[in-house]
Structure 1
Amino acid sequence: MKAVKLWGLSALAMVLGACGGNQSAGELTLDNLPVVATMEAVGQDSVCVLHLDKLGKDTLTIALSQYLEDFRLVRLDNRDEALTRGGGVCLGNYFITGGGSREACRLFDKDGRFLFRVGNNGQGPGEYWAVYNKQIDEQNRRIYLMPWNATSLLVYDLDTGAYLSSIPLPTMVPKGVFTVDAAKQTVIVGMLPFNDIEGARVVWQQDFEGNVLQGIDATPYAVVPDFSNEVSNMDNMEGTFDFYLFTWVTQADTLYHYIAEENRLKPVFTLNMPGDPIQHYYTELPDCYLMDVTLEWAQNQYGTYVSKRAIILVDKRTGRGGFVQFVNDKVGNLPTDNAAFLFNNGYFMQSIEPGELALRIDEALSSPGGLTLKQQDELKSLRASINEDDNTYLFVGKLK
């Protein structure tokens, strides 16, 4: 797509600074937000383009239960072997946590009961330094893991956790996302395409033996080798392989769908605004696009990190949108940090340490002006049930 510059960070911060604050659903709704996006022709495609200068100044508060069903709190197993640093994803009737360089993947059932480790950190068969992407095939009882710097996709038994085999990849994959079609014995892979990988494809379809069936040349998408960049397939719409490349050094970019039948990347969402670029990240849900935007950075002993961010929502049907704040209405409308990153595989999952949840409940109860008596009672009951030495808690719900 044609490159576009994005609105300057300072200008966006000024808009947020002038906001009238979060508005309740009774004062502001998606239906009366301004139209901020237009559909524009790009080649054979029609692309949703967000115009940041059309954003209003208010922030719409959205209860997570508006988007979720079976929204609940899951307390993970407290056995020593189940203890986890958190994170992870919900994959149907299972949760996988861990997968970092210091913690192997752990599999839990939908009620939080620990089942087993999946592989381990190491260099042997079925081992990995760290895991970037995960998939579970319940029907065929398989777990698939994509390690960092992968040369193959690792396959495990869903009933035992045993390592079964690997699916070779045609090139080294620094960071990769994928979807397996067991019936067709094929895999679609998308990767972060470092420019020093010869013959690289950015997205491709292959068989289980590593033979490339078709793919997209990586040259137009290639980036300087840098592991602060990311590749994304949020997989929130069945049958759609959404694909997005995030670069830490911000540039114009686009959210795509890979159309396997035509072997092409179809552009679906992007930004258009003069000025300096702002750092951002796209997430697609069935009826809207979310864009996480960085407002402020800070420094600590480990380097630079994002200290303030906001979320912009665009309704696919109407083009209306604006700043939004997702709140957890299961716990007194507590604000949900980083919500745009927590919708994956058709589910929402937030990992939170018991002590942090207890602290946030205490803060809410200390200034209960916006809470009903029922909500206050529910928060007090939940607070009394929290043991700060517990394993990680998960808030989980399925997208409607």
Structure 2
Amino acid sequence: MHGEVYLLSILKNNIVLAMKKLLFFLSCISALFSCGETTKQEVKSFWDQCDVIAKREVINGDTVIVCDSKLVKQKKNIPLNLLVDSIEVIKMDNKNEEALISKRFVHTYFTENYIGVTAYSYFPMKLFRKDGTFLRHIGAIGQGPGEYTVIDAIDMDEKNDRIYILPFSTDYILVYDFKGNIYPRIKLAESLLYGSTIKVYGDKKQVLVTKPISPDTNYCVWIQDFEGNLIQGAKMSDYYKDVTSFSESTITRLRTDAVELFRLGIPNGNEFLYHYDIPKNRLEPKFMVNGDDFDWNIIHELPHQYIVQKCQRIGADDDELFTQKIIVDKKTLRGCYFDGFETSFGLIYGQYSILYAMNGPSFSIIDFSSKVSEYIQKH
């Protein structure tokens, strides 16, 4: 499908909208762009309307925010401008097949001047300028030198002109520059599993790696050099006792200054979201959900909120992906159930991937004009 793609870039969070017709959605873009910054009065007013659903507890010497799901009674939509600072509209280039973003559920990565887009094995990594101009594919789908079959995660280091691609279930990281040239691989200290993540510190020539919890996992997070030598790491057995099954992935998206770890893909009642304290080389519990009536299998951390989520597929299509969600404000400990993020003109974004695809301080969503039309007519 060919069409025009727009990137609404937000300082803390970003929305990507793919549209077939420019004129159809132009007025809605203008309305969203005019939201501006959230005032302190708006933030205070919203949380004052919510119940207190969490408390701070000291658990084994660590202060943890504990959400009690039995206390959550209210259901609201979250004003999008409650979570964002500013919005920028960028028209994405898709004049040819190489540039075309053909999937709705994608991962987007941002640097000061570039945007990277991946979609597992559906297409190679696409590199755009920050103004939306398509530049090139980085690597290719295949099994030859510099190729990969499925992309698990990437890291873009604009300062050092390097792009790092982590394929699924591998023991190496592929290295490119922003022109697509290939460089020697980085060997990993352990073979990885689907759902691993990387953060490369190019100046130090070091890599932070997270690995999903499984019977074969030794370290759930570690730091190594570019030659594959382990520098430090947190042993899985010190924090996770139930390791009889493989957790689908460890959700580490670096949305805050912390390295957050939370395993998903299994029922996670009474399990912590951790921060990896690098100087102390330990995992520190920060948040958890209590309540026997619901298994919360995803926890997202934002700069000022936690969001807990359970994904339930009610049909074969991606559009039939339903999530029940709770938001908890870190400062006031107030929160509620919510369907999605509501814009000033009533449009609600509540899809599963709006949070799961967050990488760094940005989130994104791809939508085609037919879907945007449905949202507008509904709301």
Alignment correspondent of 1:298: 314
The yes-or-no answer on 1:355 pairing with 2:370 is yes
Alignment correspondent of 1:392: none
Alignment correspondent of 1:268: 286
Letter in 1 for 2:86: E
What are the superposed Cα offsets for residues 70-107 of structure 1, whole Å, 9 maximum, x if unpaired?
A: 24354342222212333121312322223422321111
The yes-or-no answer on 1:67 pairing with 2:69 is no
The yes-or-no answer on 1:207 pairing with 2:225 is yes
Query: How far has the Cα of 1:132 moved from its partner?
Result: 1.1
Give the Cα–Cα distance (whole angstroms) in 2 for the partners of residues 84 and 245 of structure 1. 29
Give the Cα–Cα distance (whole angstroms) in 2 for the partners of residues 356 and 32 of structure 1. 31
Give the secondary structure class of the aligned counterpart of 1:149: coil
Q: In the superposition, relative to structure 1, how do residues 277 and 324 fare at CA in structure 2: closer, same or farther (>3 Å)?
A: closer
Query: How far has the Cα of 1:360 moved from its partner?
Result: 3.1
Q: Which of 290, 299, 324 in structure 1 is aligned with 2:338?
A: 324
Q: Map of 1:144-183 to 2, 5 A cutoff?
A: 144-158=164-178, 160-175=179-194, 176-183=196-203
Give the Cα–Cα distance (whole angstroms) in 1 for the partners of residues 261 and 234 of structure 2. 12
Q: Which of 113, 132, 146 in structure 2 is aligned with 1:126?
A: 146
Q: Which of 292, 301, 310 in structure 2 is aligned with 1:284?
A: 301
CA contact (8 A) 2:269 2:289 kept: no
CA contact (8 A) 1:60 1:322 kept: no
Give the Cα–Cα distance (whole angstroms) in 2 for the partners of residues 305 and 191 of structure 1. 29
Query: How far has the Cα of 1:224 moved from its partner?
Result: 4.8
Give the Cα–Cα distance (whole angstroms) in 1 for the partners of residues 362 and 319 of structure 2. 27
Give the Cα–Cα distance (whole angstroms) in 1 for the partners of residues 260 and 184 of structure 2. 27
Q: In the superposition, relative to structure 1, how do residues 241 and 55 fare at CA in structure 2: closer, same or farther (>3 Å)?
A: same
CA contact (8 A) 2:108 2:359 kept: yes
Alignment correspondent of 1:231: 250
Give the Cα–Cα distance (whole angstroms) in 1 for the partners of residues 157 and 359 of structure 2. 15
Alignment correspondent of 1:109: 129
Q: In the superposition, relative to structure 1, how do residues 334 and 71 fare at CA in structure 2: closer, same or farther (>3 Å)?
A: farther
Give the secondary structure class of the aligned counterpart of 1:340: helix
Alignment correspondent of 2:275: 257
Alignment correspondent of 1:37: 54
The yes-or-no answer on 1:242 pairing with 2:257 is no
Give the Cα–Cα distance (whole angstroms) in 2 for the partners of residues 42 and 280 of structure 1. 21
For structure 1, the 5+ residue unaligned runs are 1-24, 368-400
Give the secondary structure class of the aligned counterpart of 1:155: strand
Q: Map of 1:27-106 to 2, 5 A cutoff?
A: 29-64=46-81, 66-72=83-89, 74-86=91-103, 87-92=106-111, 93-106=113-126
Give 1 or 2 for the bigger CA radius of gyration.
1
Q: Which of 136, 151, 158 in structure 1 is aligned with 2:156?
A: 136
Once structures 1 and 2 are overlaid, which stretch shifts more, 92-101 or 264-273? Answer: 92-101
CA contact (8 A) 1:232 1:244 kept: yes
Aligned length in residues: 331
Once structures 1 and 2 are overlaid, which stretch shifts more, 107-116 or 96-105? Answer: 96-105
Q: Which of 325, 337, 341 in structure 2 is aligned with 1:311?
A: 325
CA contact (8 A) 1:74 1:111 kept: yes
Query: How far has the Cα of 1:225 moved from its partner?
Result: 5.9
Give the Cα–Cα distance (whole angstroms) in 2 for the partners of residues 191 and 355 of structure 1. 38
What are the superposed Cα offsets for residues 147-203 of structure 1, whole Å, 9 maximum, x if unpaired?
A: 111211111102x01121211111210131121111221111111133135xx2111
Between the aligned residues of both structures, percent identity stands at 26
Q: In the superposition, relative to structure 1, how do residues 143 and 334 fare at CA in structure 2: closer, same or farther (>3 Å)?
A: same
Alignment correspondent of 1:10: none
Give the Cα–Cα distance (whole angstroms) in 2 for the partners of residues 59 and 232 of structure 1. 26
Give the Cα–Cα distance (whole angstroms) in 2 for the partners of residues 359 and 58 of structure 1. 22
Q: In the superposition, relative to structure 1, how do residues 249 and 32 fare at CA in structure 2: closer, same or farther (>3 Å)?
A: closer
CA contact (8 A) 1:233 1:242 kept: yes
Query: How far has the Cα of 1:140 moved from its partner?
Result: 1.0
Q: Which of 176, 182, 185 in structure 1 is aligned with 2:205?
A: 185
**TM-score between both structures, scaled by the size of structure 1:** 0.75
CA contact (8 A) 1:283 1:289 kept: yes
Give the Cα–Cα distance (whole angstroms) in 2 for the partners of residues 272 and 336 of structure 1. 24
**TM-score between both structures, scaled by the size of structure 2:** 0.79
CA contact (8 A) 2:78 2:342 kept: no
Alignment correspondent of 1:333: 347
Give the Cα–Cα distance (whole angstroms) in 2 for the partners of residues 47 and 328 of structure 1. 29
For structure 2, the 5+ residue unaligned runs are 1-41
Give the Cα–Cα distance (whole angstroms) in 2 for the partners of residues 306 and 255 of structure 1. 28
Q: Once superposed, what is the RMSD of the aligned Cα atoms? A: 2.7
Letter in 2 for 1:81: E
